[in-house]
Amino acid sequence: MGKHMNRRAWLGTAATGGTLLGLGDLFFLSRLPPVSAAETQLSSNAVQMEPDIEPLVQLLEKTPRDRLLEEVASRIRRGLSYREVLAALLLAGVRNVQPRPGVGFKFHAVLAVNSVHLASLSAPDRERWLPIFWALDYFKEAQARDQSEGGWRMKPVDERAVPPAAKAHVAFVQAMDTWDEAAVDVAVAALARTASANEIFELFYRYGARDFRSIGHKAIFVSNMQRVLPLIGWRYAEPVLRSLAYALLMHEGDNPAGRDAPSDRPWRQNQARLAQIPAAWQGGKPAGEKTIELLAVLRQSTSEAACDKLVELLKGGTAPQSIWDALFCGAAELLLRQPGIVALHALTTTNALHFAYQTTGDDATRRLLMLQNAAFLPMFRAAIEGRGKVACRIAGSTDAAAHGPWMMITGSR
């Protein structure tokens, strides 16, 4: 690979020239500096991965960015599997990239792993490595940025404080409710070692939707990790879940448990709304006109009004699918009104919350996720209005009730 060839140029060349593995002989290995035995030892100040994957994770961490793709390609030629590369990519990300100050930005190196996998699945056979190699390079970029900000690395678990299996669930809930980082870290480690994946993600679905900080990235992180962990193997789950729990505790200022911050208010208010939804709420009938009614509230009113309208519709016998139609259309409209990063995440957050809604087996969690989504969309709308020009006139077709809520944007401010 040419010394000055950048990531995009090299990947483009690989895509047009055939498989990534056609790199020729391994002449470049002779130019690599020797690695001493001491250099291969992991610092005792960083979490240790499973022994079968640790050497590959270290390879991703220690290999310079301009040599990493060639090095991984040569390993693939010698038998390294797709799943091993995907696992190492995720684990290197959670060990080296801090999900702070916001669960986004550089941390997309972790958040994007599931999306990269989906892109690989959709690609032709000869190009399936391209998204993975892009992500490998992006990890090095994120790692470098994190190092420039202080060099954060995930530390080993405080084994002395890990609660016994019988107390892990309660310990985790109490620690999350009080936003206690140290207690959460040891509790989630105990859960990863003793609880089922379903039990753990039932907890994370709720806490991923708890607050509006990081424009939905918390819910996105939860759903993406629920998707990707089965691909790489549950034995690698502990550091991933520790990173996830740490990300969900991101907040500004004083402990949120002791104040009524706007980001947390819908969660507290929606606890009371849960009891207002009838037991047979999933048996309602689809109603396009009810979708449009909820859309009208999402466009111009508050989070409180949106949640109240959602409860009213469920009590009146509207099918949940009609409500989700309004939530997805409302999110999509925001992106049409102001294409950009914030409005984009209104849509990706709705997708993540809907995935959790479909996956959870807990009725109360399902209702809460829908309510939180309804609360978040007016908050997204307020956020994009603070960023500049926003298209404002949205008109439905005259027969929208018959044909569904397809909308047209006309005008801007």
Residue 28 in this model has a pLDDT that exceeds 50? no
The residue out of 82, 114, 148 marking a domain boundary is: 148
Domain count, the chain: 3
pLDDT in tens, 160-185: 999 999 999 999 999 999 999 999 99
Same domain, 194 and 96: no
Domain assignment present for residue 1? The answer is no
State the average pLDDT over residues 201-215.
97
The residue out of 194, 225, 256 marking a domain boundary is: 256
Where does the pLDDT of residue 232 fall: very low under 50, low under 70, confident under 90, or very high at 90 and above?
A: very high
Say what the pLDDT of residue 37 is: 41
Give the distance from CA 310 to its chain's centroid: 25
Same domain, 236 and 305: no
Would you state the structure tokens that stand for residue 309, as one six-digit string? 């309208």
Of the two residues 303 and 6, the one the predictor is more confident about is 303
pLDDT in tens, 114-167: 999 999 999 988 899 999 999 999 999 999 999 999 999 999 999 999 999 999
Say what the pLDDT of residue 46 is: 74
Residue 78 in this model has a pLDDT that exceeds 50? yes
Residue in 413, 331, 320 with CA at minimum distance from that of residue 380: 331
Same domain, 355 and 271: yes
Q: From residue 225, give the alpha-carbon distance in Å to each of 168, 293, 296.
A: 20, 34, 34
Least trusted range by pLDDT, from 291-300, 365-374, 401-410: 401-410
State the average pLDDT over residues 42-71.
88
Q: Which phi and psi angles does 285 have, rounded to 5°?
A: -105, 140
Residue in 191, 164, 195 with CA at minimum distance from that of residue 245: 191
Say what the pLDDT of residue 30 is: 43
Where does the pLDDT of residue 26 fall: very low under 50, low under 70, confident under 90, or very high at 90 and above?
A: very low
Same domain, 404 and 382: yes
107, 142 Cβ separation under 8 angstroms:
yes
Say what the pLDDT of residue 102 is: 80
Other Cβ atoms within 10 Å of 102 Cβ, number? 15
The residue out of 190, 222, 256 marking a domain boundary is: 256
Gap between the Cα atoms of 29 and 243, Å rounded: 34
Domain assignment present for residue 2? The answer is no
Domain assignment present for residue 134? The answer is yes
Residue 8 in this model has a pLDDT that exceeds 80? no
287, 143 Cβ separation under 8 angstroms:
no
Mean pLDDT across the chain, nearest whole number? 88
pLDDT in tens, 48-58: 888 899 999 99
With tokens 């089965």, the residue in question is 230
Handedness of CA 227, 346, 277, 261 (dihedral sign): positive
338, 390 Cβ separation under 8 angstroms:
yes
Residues above pLDDT 90, as percent of the chain: 78
Same domain, 313 and 181: no
Same domain, 43 and 139: yes
Same domain, 19 and 83: yes
Gap between the Cα atoms of 245 and 196, Å rounded: 16
Same domain, 281 and 398: yes
Say what the pLDDT of residue 142 is: 96
Residue 210 in this model has a pLDDT that exceeds 50? yes
| Residue 31 DSSP one-character state | G
| Burial bucket for residue 261 (CB in 10 Å: 0-12, 13-18, 19+) | middle
Domain assignment present for residue 93? The answer is yes
Domain assignment present for residue 153? The answer is no
Say what the pLDDT of residue 391 is: 79
Gap between the Cα atoms of 305 and 321, Å rounded: 20
Where does the pLDDT of residue 9 fall: very low under 50, low under 70, confident under 90, or very high at 90 and above?
A: low
Say what the pLDDT of residue 144 is: 96
Domain assignment present for residue 154? The answer is no
Same domain, 284 and 391: yes
Same domain, 403 and 270: yes
Residue 336 in this model has a pLDDT that exceeds 90? yes
Which secondary structure element, helix H or strand E, spans residue 407, and what is its range? strand 407-409
Residues above pLDDT 70, as percent of the chain: 84
Gap between the Cα atoms of 405 and 324, Å rounded: 12
Where does the pLDDT of residue 33 fall: very low under 50, low under 70, confident under 90, or very high at 90 and above?
A: very low
Gap between the Cα atoms of 179 and 227, Å rounded: 26
State the average pLDDT over residues 336-360.
97
Gap between the Cα atoms of 112 and 250, Å rounded: 19
Of the two residues 101 and 250, the one the predictor is more confident about is 250
Intra-chain end-to-end CA distance of the chain, in Å: 49
Of the two residues 400 and 369, the one the predictor is more confident about is 369
- Tell me which residue range forms the domain holding 337: 265-409
Gap between the Cα atoms of 376 and 57, Å rounded: 37
In three-state secondary structure terms, 42 is: coil
Residue in 200, 210, 202 with CA at minimum distance from that of residue 242: 200
Same domain, 132 and 195: no
Same domain, 226 and 342: no
